[in-house]
């Protein structure tokens, strides 16, 4: 199997809790959500309640995979939408959660009530973009919520493996959220890991619990504690997600 990330399918099922993402972002009918692509599970779930979802992935195979799932939905082939007929290169590496358990939980979420029928009726509000999520957050405006999965941690670890100088986590978070309006939300699945990385590179001592710390955040963002707690209670797995809220513009924060 070709393991080049640019040329191979990596993810066919999310190992995150879909309900946690939807709960954490407190999806509203007026929302325009910019979401990282992957398997597309999060984007489809968010589409049920949002005005519009823009999903982004650097890997053309992931974009093609999400497109195939969209075609299945259009044809009312709900079993096809949920079926995994090909293996992604990272599907076998889901940490403590097996692929089968993630698949079962994902399918249970989407089969509830008339959920898939509702999402099918909203496919015209889903836009696919091939690109770098970090660049797209800087180029795009008009979105008020951002689903990042573990993209920030992935970038920081990738830079570290390449021997590049460590970029402060708060700087990366500030960059991806610069076009969010006040009260806009950011969902990350790996808040605890990001905080741990920050403390390691800053030479700070380890702490037993990092779930509700704000060390990594720039001045214009705060931890949305209620939504974070609700998201973490919903997940109860390998991920420790968090929700950040924009409280002011970068211009205002730098002028103070």
Q: Which is higher by pLDDT, 209 or 122?
A: 122
Average pLDDT taken over every residue of the chain:
87
> Which of 4-13, 92-101, 143-152 shows the lowest per-residue confidence on average (mean pLDDT)?
92-101
Q: How many CB atoms lie within 10 A of CB 32?
A: 18
DSSP 73-127: HHTT-HHHHH---S--TTTT--TTS-HHHHHHHHHHHHTSTTHHHHHHTTGGGEE
Q: The sheet that has 126-130: what strands, in order across it?
A: 126-130, 52-57, 32-36, 145-149, 185-188, 242-246, 221-223
**206-212 mean pLDDT:** 78
**185-213 mean pLDDT:** 84
How high is the pLDDT of residue 92?
66
The reply to whether CATH 3.40.640.10 applies to domain 18-255 is no
Does residue 221 surpass a pLDDT of 70?
A: yes
Does residue 6 surpass a pLDDT of 70?
A: no
How high is the pLDDT of residue 93?
64
Does residue 165 surpass a pLDDT of 70?
A: no
How high is the pLDDT of residue 104?
92
pLDDT confidence band for 1 (50 / 70 / 90)? very low
The CA distances from residue 255 to 169, 215, 243, in Å, are: 21, 21, 25
The CA distances from residue 58 to 240, 244, 251, in Å, are: 25, 24, 29
Q: CB-based contacts of 108: which residues, under 8 Å, 6+ apart? A: none
Does residue 2 surpass a pLDDT of 60?
A: no
**Separation of alpha carbons 26 and 20, rounded Å:** 10
């Amino acid at each position: 199997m070709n393991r080049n990330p640019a040329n191979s399918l990596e993810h066919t099922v999310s190992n995150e809790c879909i309900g946690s993402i939807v709960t954490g972002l407190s999806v509203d009918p007026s929302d325009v959500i910019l979401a990282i692509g992957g398997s597309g599970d999060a984007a489809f779930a968010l589409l049920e309640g949002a005005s519009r979802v823009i999903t982004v992935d650097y890997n053309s195979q992931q974009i093609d995979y999400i497109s195939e799932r969209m075609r299945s939905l259009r044809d009312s082939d709900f079993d096809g939408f949920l079926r995994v007929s090909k293996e992604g290169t990272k599907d076998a590496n889901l940490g403590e959660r097996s692929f089968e358990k993630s698949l079962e939980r994902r399918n249970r979420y989407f089969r509830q009530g008339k959920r898939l029928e509702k999402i099918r009726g909203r496919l015209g509000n889903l836009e696919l973009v091939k690109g770098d999520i970090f660049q797209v957050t800087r180029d795009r405006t008009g979105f008020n919520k951002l689903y990042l999965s573990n993209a920030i941690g992935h970038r920081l670890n990738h830079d570290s493996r390449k021997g590049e100088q460590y970029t402060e986590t708060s700087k990366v978070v500030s960059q991806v959220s610069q076009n969010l309006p006040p009260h806009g939300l950011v969902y990350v699945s790996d808040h605890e890991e990001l905080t741990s990385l920050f403390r390691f590179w800053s030479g700070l001592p380890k702490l037993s619990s990092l779930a509700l710390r704000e060390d990594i955040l720039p001045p214009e963002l705060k931890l949305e504690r209620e939504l974070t707690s609700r998201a973490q209670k919903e997940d109860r797995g390998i991920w420790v997600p968090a929700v950040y809220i924009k409280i002011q513009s970068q211009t205002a924060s730098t002028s103070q």
